[in-house]
């Protein structure tokens, strides 16, 4: 049965293909026949143009071939309208068939030139419109707008309604790109009216489709469906199958977005049939991709109703179906040689497979992606080279043309003179020969020179590039060093300011101190910016992966910028999509930095209105990977089209004078962009001069754990310094002021005894004489630096002094430098400039002292959880055993048997401080936690196992492990 | 639908709960023949019995310290039986490890969680 059905589908698919091939071929055959019969050359040009146009979707290489033939024939006939048209059709083949925009642009420009020469108004209108389209494809919207408006004016003048509606649709598209929906709808509705008036059905359909799409963007899907369905009817009654197919595909895609998968598939397959009938391979391949993605979504959707209905709940079968369509899509893309589409297909399939944990499949597709990416890169390189050599050929041709022109002129003069006087003929002839020789030689020389110039230019470019790279390296090194050098004295400035503020100053003094504090905060901010940028550029920036609250991160940005916005009377708003869970996994510090920079920038350049921060769930869902799009929308001065590219360059603002007016280093945007790129995203800008700018970027996140977040945040809270009471601390720092800052900060917060040393030697001497609990060691000191001193302490001092905890104080935050600290034998580090909390926490951690605030939270959590609910949950085991009591008992017995062994071994290992042993014991228990439904205990165990295996264990590790063991004890008593 | 052909499956893991549960799951619908080994070395000694699939834990030396880990065992298996299906099991969701095991010839890298039994069963059905 099943096999027969498949066979039937296969046969009908082949049949449909054959029909499509026939239809396209029929038109071409008839055109070719007419061509052989045609006697008149201008008619041949027309037919050739028609052929070229017909081939555009079937085979653009052929299309280009016929276009060129037409061009040369029309050229020989000096028939300008034919030439103009030939240029247009060739351009269309390059534009839509090859996506070779520079080539297409060249042909469109040529058609405009010819039409202008002959004053052919409808021709000019069409050429201008085409030019608008090509700039639209190139995303150069200002230029596109300009051409469209010119075209519209021309069409109005000549009362060309068909052209008018066409341009209006294109104009609407441009405004749509800029999110100006009222204007967009205005143009589309005008186009619709014109089409209704002139009875242009396809035109009506196109306008309806366009209007529908605007509503889709506005998320008014009911209206979208209304307009789209109406458009389908118009296309159908006009017999415009190609457009009808595209419309059906759109509707299908919309249903996919609405998670109405069966409806989506219905429409997509309808479209597919038409596309095959038309033999429109590119659309077929694209549609296959959409179908594949729809099946993937069916497979992975948390709501399993559709999966159950279509695949009897068999997820692998759905995935397999999806991959079959990917394969079909790939096959066509290979046939078409569309590397760009292929590249997209490979990478998105790889990402989908990675998402469902099919790493092997993901790797396969990723490998293919890399191969294609390399070819695309080579292709781009070749394209650039071709462009260069084309430019060269063009210059050469111009030179030859002017030469010919000169020769012809001379010949004409010669003829005239010949008629007048024969006597001069010989002389003039000789002069002409001499002149010709001279011109030819000059031309040859010019060519040779320009060849040489080209080589020289290439060489110079290479040299300049090398020099630039070299100086870029120096710049980075210099910046990194400078920021490091500046951070050291900044530590003293900021530390002492904080100390003074705590000393209850007079109100006028308070005022000055606040000034110093604020200014040094800004200064530190700038230094950090510079350091970040050089870190990113040298590839040393690493992104953290930690649980964080997205809404809190955005709120932080709002709080930081609130007063700036208030000062200017701006509304500062934020809006996070309700579907995004609150806790995500990512790097909150960097995300904050990106959005803070973008929003801060927006406030700077906005005089009235609002700055809005938005977060939208663009795709994916909280159970797997989410793609979240962030938008920063302002109503400011906007950015001129031609400056959009330069906005991100380091040290640059749009006008150099803006730096004085708006302040800032100009680094913020550059850093934001590079951070987003590091995250695998891209910042996009859309701007309308005078109306505002929207910066947006999309990043991938996974849902995080609120529990882990709670532990994390409580560890960042303000520290109670009294936990250090009674300690004896040694501070080694060559900078007197920094010693004072560390000394006074600690003294003001805790009752501790402190000794100071100004270099490594002194520190070691003091250590020999007295007993200390901990050493704070500056890394860079004269005579003996912190690394050396630490090494000597670890090797030369007698036990237990050689094991004293040593904390590095360092102005460097580079991973490599921190690694050096560890290698030298230091236990941890505190970055400069530090505040009191960081200092207290750093010391408490290496000494294993419980931190006051953290302890409280953990206590609260423990009592909360054990009171409220059970540790175990039998629902998983019940499902797993399909309700078989006996089997359930077997697993419970296994757990009860192994639990005491775990408790005993872990306790023994803890007593011996053998954390690897603890980790190994926990490792073997993972499945047991799963089977007993101990979800929280399981994830806690995983984290603890990692902590146990890592060098840096949190101070709470002992108590955390004990808590886990308590969970196991609870479980045992629940299960008995 | 045809019943799946029974297969000979080796499970190599030192976690008794896991091996027991996996055995239960894999014999539920199809009378697969399951052999359980707690070390990789033990599994290697029985390779001549020609299993169809081996399910191999990545971290094999938590109980016996001197035992070889899953990666080493995988390499030995693949050296002698390059076409044998090996599914790697692991506690940790680490893309780098997954990549390594697959490059070394593992069929798939499966994270131990609530869904891993189903995933493995589906994969074996495909072999």
**pLDDT tens for each residue of A493-552:** 888 888 888 777 888 888 888 888 877 877 887 777 777 777 777 777 777 788 888 988
| Residue from A633, A632, A624 nearest A581 by CA | A624
pLDDT for position A867: 35
User: Is A924's CB within 8 Å of B62's CB?
Assistant: yes
Give the residue with greater pLDDT, A815 vs A741: A741
Predicted confidence band of residue A20 (pLDDT cuts 50, 70, 90)? very low
pLDDT for position A16: 36
**Cβ-based contacts of B24 with chain A (< 8 Å):** 880-881, 887
| Residue from A244, A231, A324, A228 nearest A280 by CA | A244
Q: In what order do the strands lie in the sheet with B33-37?
A: B33-37, B8-12, B53-57, B85-90, B108-111
pLDDT for position A714: 47
| Residue from A651, A679, A647 nearest A536 by CA | A679
Contact predicate A586/A701, CB 8 Å: yes
Q: Is A928 on the interface with B (CB under 8 A)?
A: yes
Give the residue with greater pLDDT, A472 vs A883: A883
Q: How many CB atoms lie within 10 A of CB A226?
A: 15
pLDDT for position A112: 92
Identify which of A360, A881, A945 has the shortest CB distance to residue B107: A360
User: Is B24's CB within 8 Å of A315's CB?
Assistant: no
Residue A248 has pLDDT above 60, yes or no: yes
Identify which of B18, B21, B99 has the shortest CB distance to residue A359: B99
Mean pLDDT of A125-137: 90
pLDDT for position A857: 34
**Cβ-based contacts of B110 with chain A (< 8 Å):** 357
User: Lowest mean pLDDT: which of A101-110, A263-272, A649-658, A834-843?
Assistant: A649-658
Smallest CA–CA distance from A938 into chain B, residue? B113
Residue A187 has pLDDT above 70, yes or no: yes
User: Is B109's CB within 8 Å of A360's CB?
Assistant: yes
**Rounded Cα distance, A500 and A924, in Å:** 55
**Rounded Cα distance, A359 and B99, in Å:** 7
Smallest CA–CA distance from A917 into chain B, residue? B62
Across A503-512, A642-651, A750-759, B86-95, the highest mean pLDDT is recorded for: A750-759
Identify which of A363, A876, A890 has the shortest CB distance to residue B114: A876
- Smallest CA–CA distance, residue B114 to chain A, in Å, is 7
**Rounded Cα distance, A322 and A345, in Å:** 12
Residue A152 has pLDDT above 80, yes or no: yes
Smallest CA–CA distance from B58 into chain A, residue? A923
Mean pLDDT of A603-619: 89
| Residue from A550, A478, A535, A556 nearest A670 by CA | A535
| Residue from B28, B117, B111, B89 nearest A887 by CA | B28
**Cβ-based contacts of B14 with chain A (< 8 Å):** 924
Identify which of A360, A882, A945 has the shortest CB distance to residue B108: A360
Q: For chain A, how many residues are written? A: 976
Q: Is A712 on the interface with B (CB under 8 A)?
A: no
Q: Is A926 on the interface with B (CB under 8 A)?
A: yes
| Residue from A244, A328, A324 nearest A286 by CA | A328
Predicted confidence band of residue A125 (pLDDT cuts 50, 70, 90)? very high
A830 DSSP β-pair partners: A809
**Cβ-based contacts of A316 with chain B (< 8 Å):** 122, 126
Q: For chain B, how many residues are written? A: 127
Residue A5 has pLDDT above 50, yes or no: no
**Cβ-based contacts of B17 with chain A (< 8 Å):** 891, 894-895, 898, 927-928, 931
- Smallest CA–CA distance, residue A309 to chain B, in Å, is 17
User: Is A891's CB within 8 Å of B21's CB?
Assistant: yes
Residue A198 has pLDDT above 50, yes or no: yes
Smallest CA–CA distance from B108 into chain A, residue? A360
Residues 6 or more apart from A888 whose CB is under 8 A from it?
A874, A877, A878, A881
B41-61 residues labelled b (16+ CB within 10 A) or e (exposed): bebbeeeeeebbbbbbbbbbb
- Smallest CA–CA distance, residue A907 to chain B, in Å, is 16
User: Is A359's CB within 8 Å of B108's CB?
Assistant: yes
| Residue from A317, A318, A375 nearest A346 by CA | A375
What whole-number percentage of chain A has pLDDT above 90? 22
- Smallest CA–CA distance, residue A894 to chain B, in Å, is 7
Q: How do residues A851-901 score in pLDDT, each as one tens digit?
A: 654 334 334 333 433 333 578 888 888 888 887 888 888 899 999 998 999
pLDDT for position A655: 45
Q: Scan residues 498-557 of A and list those with Cβ closer than 8 Å to B.
A: none
Q: How do residues B88-108 score in pLDDT, each as one tens digit?
A: 998 877 777 788 888 888 988
User: Is B21's CB within 8 Å of A927's CB?
Assistant: yes
Residue A838 has pLDDT above 60, yes or no: yes
pLDDT for position A403: 64
Give A798's DSSP letter.
Answer: P
| Residue from A206, A102, A108 nearest A151 by CA | A108
**Cβ-based contacts of B18 with chain A (< 8 Å):** 927
Mean pLDDT of A924-948: 85
User: Lowest mean pLDDT: which of A217-231, A249-263, A521-535, A711-725?
Assistant: A711-725
- Smallest CA–CA distance, residue A539 to chain B, in Å, is 20
User: Lowest mean pLDDT: which of A117-131, A410-424, A737-751, B33-47?
Assistant: A410-424
User: Is B62's CB within 8 Å of A928's CB?
Assistant: no
User: Lowest mean pLDDT: which of A444-448, A651-655, A911-915?
Assistant: A651-655
CB pairs under 8 A between A and B: 70
Identify which of B17, B99, B108 has the shortest CB distance to residue A927: B17
Backbone φ and ψ of B11, nearest 5°:
-115, 125
Mean pLDDT of A754-758: 92
Identify which of A316, A921, A924 has the shortest CB distance to residue B122: A316
Interface test with A, best of B62, B93, B103 (most A CBs within 10 A): B62
- Smallest CA–CA distance, residue B29 to chain A, in Å, is 12
Smallest CA–CA distance from A361 into chain B, residue? B108
User: Is B112's CB within 8 Å of A930's CB?
Assistant: yes
Q: Tokens at residue A313, please?
A: 């709940």
pLDDT for position A666: 62
Give the residue with greater pLDDT, A438 vs A130: A130
**Rounded Cα distance, A890 and A689, in Å:** 72
**Rounded Cα distance, A640 and A290, in Å:** 36
Residue A356 has pLDDT above 80, yes or no: yes
pLDDT for position A149: 92
Interface test with B, best of A299, A357, A358, A364 (most B CBs within 10 A): A357
**Cβ-based contacts of A354 with chain B (< 8 Å):** 95
User: Is B25's CB within 8 Å of A880's CB?
Assistant: yes
pLDDT for position A15: 34
Predicted confidence band of residue A800 (pLDDT cuts 50, 70, 90)? confident
Predicted confidence band of residue A396 (pLDDT cuts 50, 70, 90)? low
**Rounded Cα distance, A525 and A528, in Å:** 5
pLDDT for position A941: 86
**Rounded Cα distance, A791 and A802, in Å:** 10
Predicted confidence band of residue A24 (pLDDT cuts 50, 70, 90)? low
Q: How many CB atoms lie within 10 A of CB A772?
A: 18
- Smallest CA–CA distance, residue B117 to chain A, in Å, is 9
**Cβ-based contacts of B25 with chain A (< 8 Å):** 880
Q: Is A236 on the interface with B (CB under 8 A)?
A: no
pLDDT for position B10: 95
Identify which of A354, A357, A887 has the shortest CB distance to residue B24: A887
User: Lowest mean pLDDT: which of A299-308, A501-510, A570-579, B106-115?
Assistant: A501-510
User: Is A927's CB within 8 Å of B18's CB?
Assistant: yes
- The class that CATH gives domain B8-126 is alpha beta
Asked if the bond preceding A922 is cis, omega within 30° of 0, the reply is no
pLDDT for position A687: 84
Q: Which residues of chain B have pLDDT under 70?
A: 1-4, 62-66
CB-neighbour burial class of residue A16 (10 A; exposed 0-12, middle 13-18, buried 19+):
middle
Q: Is pTM, for the whole model, over 0.90?
A: no
Predicted confidence band of residue A947 (pLDDT cuts 50, 70, 90)? confident
Q: Is A891 on the interface with B (CB under 8 A)?
A: yes
User: Is A359's CB within 8 Å of B109's CB?
Assistant: yes
pLDDT for position A653: 43
pLDDT for position A85: 92
Mean pLDDT of A436-460: 67
**Cβ-based contacts of B15 with chain A (< 8 Å):** 924-928
Q: Tokens at residue A2, please?
A: 């099943």
Provide residues of B within 8 Å CB-CB of chain A.
14-18, 20-21, 24-25, 28, 59, 62-63, 91-92, 95, 98-99, 102-103, 106-114, 117, 119, 122, 126
**Cβ-based contacts of B87 with chain A (< 8 Å):** none
Q: In what order do the strands lie in the sheet with A774-778?
A: A753-757, A728-732, A774-778, A806-810, A828-831
User: Is A359's CB within 8 Å of B102's CB?
Assistant: yes
Contact predicate A921/A911, CB 8 Å: no
Q: How many CB atoms lie within 10 A of CB A811?
A: 23
Strands A753-757 and A728-732: what pairing? Answer: parallel
> Cα–chain-centroid distance for residue A791?
45
User: Lowest mean pLDDT: which of A504-518, A586-600, A648-662, B71-85?
Assistant: A648-662
């Amino acid at each position: 049965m099943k096999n027969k059905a498949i066979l039937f589908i296969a046969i009908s698919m082949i049949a449909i293909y054959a029909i499509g091939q026939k239809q396209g071929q029929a038109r071409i055959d008839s055109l070719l026949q007419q061509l052989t019969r045609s006697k008149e050359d201008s008619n041949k040009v027309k037919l050739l143009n028609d052929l070229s146009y017909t081939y555009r979707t079937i085979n653009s290489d052929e299309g280009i071939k016929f276009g060129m033939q037409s061009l040369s024939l029309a050229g020989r006939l000096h028939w300008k309208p034919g030439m103009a048209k030939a240029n247009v059709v060739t351009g269309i083949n390059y534009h839509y068939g090859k996506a070779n925009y520079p080539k297409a642009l060249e042909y469109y420009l040529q058609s405009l030139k010819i039409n202008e020469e002959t004053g052919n108004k409808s021709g000019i209108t069409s050429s201008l419109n085409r030019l608008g389209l090509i700039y639209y494809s190139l995303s150069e919207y200002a230029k596109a707008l300009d051409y469209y408006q010119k075209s519209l004016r021309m069409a109005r003048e000549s009362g060309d309604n068909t052209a008018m509606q066409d341009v209006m649709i294109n104009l609407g598209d441009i405004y749509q790109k800029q999110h100006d929906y009222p204007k967009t709808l205005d143009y589309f509705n005008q186009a619709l009216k014109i089409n209704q008036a002139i009875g242009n059905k396809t035109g009506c359909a196109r306008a309806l489709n366009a209007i529908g799409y605007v509503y889709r963007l506005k998320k008014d899907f009911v209206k979208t469906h209304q307009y789209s369905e109406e458009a389908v009817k118009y296309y159908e009654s006009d017999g415009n199958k190609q457009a009808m197919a595209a419309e059906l595909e759109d509707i299908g895609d919309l249903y996919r977005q609405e998670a109405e998968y069966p409806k989506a598939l219905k429409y997509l397959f309808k479209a597919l049939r038409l596309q095959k009938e038309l033999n429109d391979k590119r659309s077929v391949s694209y549609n296959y991709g959409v179908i594949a993605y729809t099946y993937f979504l069916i497979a992975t959707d948390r709501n399993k109703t559709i999966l159950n209905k279509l695949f009897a709940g068999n997820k692998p079968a759905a995935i397999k179906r999806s991959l079959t369509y990917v394969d079909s899509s790939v096959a066509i893309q290979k046939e078409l040689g569309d590397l760009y589409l292929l590249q997209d297909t490979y990478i998105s399939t790889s990402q989908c497979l990675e998402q469902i944990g099919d790493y092997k499949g993901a790797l396969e597709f990723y490998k293919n992606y890399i191969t294609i990416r390399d070819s695309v890169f080579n292709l781009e390189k070749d394209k650039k080279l071709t462009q260069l050599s084309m430019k060269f050929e063009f210059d050469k041709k111009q030179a030859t043309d002017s030469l010919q022109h000169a020769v012809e002129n001379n010949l004409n003069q010669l003829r005239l003179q010949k008629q007048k006087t024969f006597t001069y003929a010989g002389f003039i002839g000789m002069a002409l020969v001499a002149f010709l020789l001279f011109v030819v030689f000059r031309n040859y020389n010019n060519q040779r020179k320009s060849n040489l110039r080209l080589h020289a230019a290439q060489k110079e470019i290479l040299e300049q590039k090398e020099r630039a790279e070299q100086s870029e390296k120096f710049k980075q090194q210099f910046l990194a060093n400078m920021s490091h050098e500046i951070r050291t004295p900044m530590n003293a400035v900021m530390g002492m300011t904080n100390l003074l503020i705590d000393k209850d100053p007079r109100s006028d003094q308070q005022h000055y101190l606040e000034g110093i504090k604020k200014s040094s905060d800004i200064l530190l901010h700038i230094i950090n910016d510079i350091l970040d940028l050089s870190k990113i550029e040298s590839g040393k920036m690493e992104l953290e992966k930690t649980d964080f609250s997205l809404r809190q991160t955005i709120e932080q940005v709002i709080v930081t910028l609130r007063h700036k916005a208030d000062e200017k009377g701006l509304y500062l708003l934020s809006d996070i999509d309700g579907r995004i869970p609150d806790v995500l996994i990512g790097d909150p510090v960097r995300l904050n930095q990106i959005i803070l920079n973008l929003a801060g920038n927006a406030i700077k350049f906005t005089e009235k209105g609002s700055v809005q921060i938005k977060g939208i769930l663009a795709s994916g869902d909280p159970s797997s990977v989410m793609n979240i799009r962030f938008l920063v929308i302002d109503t400011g001065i906007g950015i001129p089209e031609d400056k959009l590219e330069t906005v991100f360059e380091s040290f640059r603002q749009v006008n150099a004078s803006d730096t004085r007016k708006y302040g800032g280093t100009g680094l913020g945007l550059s850093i934001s962009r590079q951070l987003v790129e590091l995250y695998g995203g891209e910042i996009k800008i859309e701007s309308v001069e005078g109306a505002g700018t929207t910066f947006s970027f999309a990043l991938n996140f996974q849902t995080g754990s609120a529990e882990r977040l709670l532990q994390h945040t409580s560890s960042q809270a303000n520290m109670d310094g009294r936990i250090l009471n009674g300690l004896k601390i040694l501070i080694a720092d060559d900078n007197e002021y920094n010693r004072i800052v560390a000394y006074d900060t600690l003294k003001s917060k805790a009752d501790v005894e402190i000794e100071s040393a100004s270099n490594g030697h002194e520190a070691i001497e003091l250590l020999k004489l007295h007993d200390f609990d901990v050493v704070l060691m500056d890394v860079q000191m004269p005579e003996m630096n912190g690394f050396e001193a630490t090494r000597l302490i670890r090797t030369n001092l007698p036990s237990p002094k050689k094991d004293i905890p040593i904390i590095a104080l360092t102005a460097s935050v580079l991973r490599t430098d921190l690694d050096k600290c560890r290698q030298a034998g230091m236990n941890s580090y505190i970055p400069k400039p530090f505040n009191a909390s960081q200092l207290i926490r750093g010391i408490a951690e290496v000494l294993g002292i419980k931190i006051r605030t953290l302890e409280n939270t953990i206590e609260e959590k423990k009592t909360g959880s054990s009171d409220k609910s059970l540790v175990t949950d039998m629902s998983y085991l019940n499902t797993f055993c399909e309700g078989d009591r006996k089997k359930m008992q077997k697993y419970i017995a296994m757990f009860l048997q192994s639990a005491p062994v775990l408790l005993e071994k872990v306790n023994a290992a803890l007593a011996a401080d053998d954390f690897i042993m603890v980790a190994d014991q926990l490792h073997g228990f993972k499945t047991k936690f799963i089977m007993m439904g101990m979800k929280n205990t399981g994830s806690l165990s995983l984290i603890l196992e990692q902590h146990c295996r890592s060098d840096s264990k949190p101070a709470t590790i002992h108590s955390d492990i004990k808590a886990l063991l308590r969970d196991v004890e609870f479980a045992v008593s629940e299960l008995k | 639908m045809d019943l799946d052909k029974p297969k000979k499956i080796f499970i190599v893991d030192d976690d008794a709960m896991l091996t027991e549960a996996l055995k239960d799951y894999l014999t539920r619908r199809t009378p697969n023949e399951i052999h359980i080994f707690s070390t990789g070395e033990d599994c290697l000694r029985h390779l001549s019995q020609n299993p169809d699939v081996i399910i191999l834990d990545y971290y094999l030396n938590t109980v016996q310290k001197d035992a070889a880990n899953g990666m080493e065992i995988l390499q030995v298996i693949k050296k002698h039986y390059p076409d044998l299906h090996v599914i790697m099991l692991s506690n940790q969701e680490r893309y780098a490890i997954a990549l390594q095991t697959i490059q070394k010839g593992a069929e798939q890298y499966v994270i131990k969680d609530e869904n891993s039994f189903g995933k493995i069963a589906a994969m074996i059905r495909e072999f």
